[in-house]
């Protein structure tokens, strides 16, 4: 399995500006129910302005908030499942929500990474790190693991040819029992 480049994931620290438009659209839809437009838009605006992501060697972090700061940090080993969802307006704006679940007692997602246009890159990166694939700058150990497995395969095939019975009816290696 090829993993996404680490440098591309580490560069993502902010949500895409399209997320603010998503919040405006959701607030306008709530306006149909009454004067809730401003009540919902102000907290979403501050969440958008303060939302930060960090992807490092150990895990993924997310923080937001002005008056009440909230921070979540999940190590890759704790991640159990990853869900990608895209609502109607998210698809229209080219966004997605990545829900990261752990084995905690709650049934919902521990972290929801919202407002990213590179959601496929992030999802693939999280899947690879969740499964324990080590990624270093510029070197993907999945590639080196693949090359080792290919070498093992050729060695096993070579041994199989050496141990197989010859065509003239005489075993090439009589000490190995036939199956």
Alpha-carbon separation of residue 19 from 46, 96, 146 (angstroms) = 12, 10, 39
The ranges assigned to domains in the chain are 6-133, 139-165
Helices and strands of the chain, counted as H and E runs: 6, 8
* pLDDT per residue as tens, the chain (179 positions): 445 566 677 778 788 888 888 888 888 887 776 666 677 778 888 988 999 999 988 899 999 998 889 999 999 988 888 999 998 888 988 999 999 998 876 777 889 999 888 888 888 889 888 887 665 545 455 566 777 788 888 889 999 888 887 665 555 555 555 55
Distances (CA, A) of 18 to 5, 85, 102, 178: 24, 16, 28, 67
| pTM check: above 0.85 | no
Instruction: Give CATH for domain 6-133.
Output: 2.30.29
Where b means 16+ CB within 10 Å and e means fewer, 77-109 reads eebeebeeeeeeebeebebbbbbbbbeeeeeeb
């Amino acid at each position: 399995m090829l993993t996404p480049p680490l440098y591309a994931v580490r560069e993502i620290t902010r949500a895409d500006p399209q997320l603010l438009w998503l919040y405006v659209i959701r607030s306008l839809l709530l306006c149909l129910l009454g004067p809730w437009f401003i009540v919902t838009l102000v907290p979403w605006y501050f969440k958008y302005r303060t939302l930060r992501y960090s992807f490092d060697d150990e895990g993924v972090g997310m923080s937001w908030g002005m008056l009440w700061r909230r921070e979540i940090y999940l190590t890759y080993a704790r991640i159990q499942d990853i869900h990608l969802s895209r609502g109607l307006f998210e698809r229209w704006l080219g966004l997605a929500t990545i829900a990261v679940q752990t084995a905690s007692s709650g049934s919902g997602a521990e972290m929801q990474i919202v407002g990213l246009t590179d959601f496929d890159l992030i999802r693939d990166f999280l899947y690879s790190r969740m499964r324990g694939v080590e990624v270093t700058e510029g070197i993907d150990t999945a590639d080196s693991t693949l090359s080792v497995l290919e070498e093992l395969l050729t060695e096993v095939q070579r041994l199989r040819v050496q141990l197989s019975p010859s065509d003239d009816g005489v075993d090439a290696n009589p000490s190995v029992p036939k199956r």
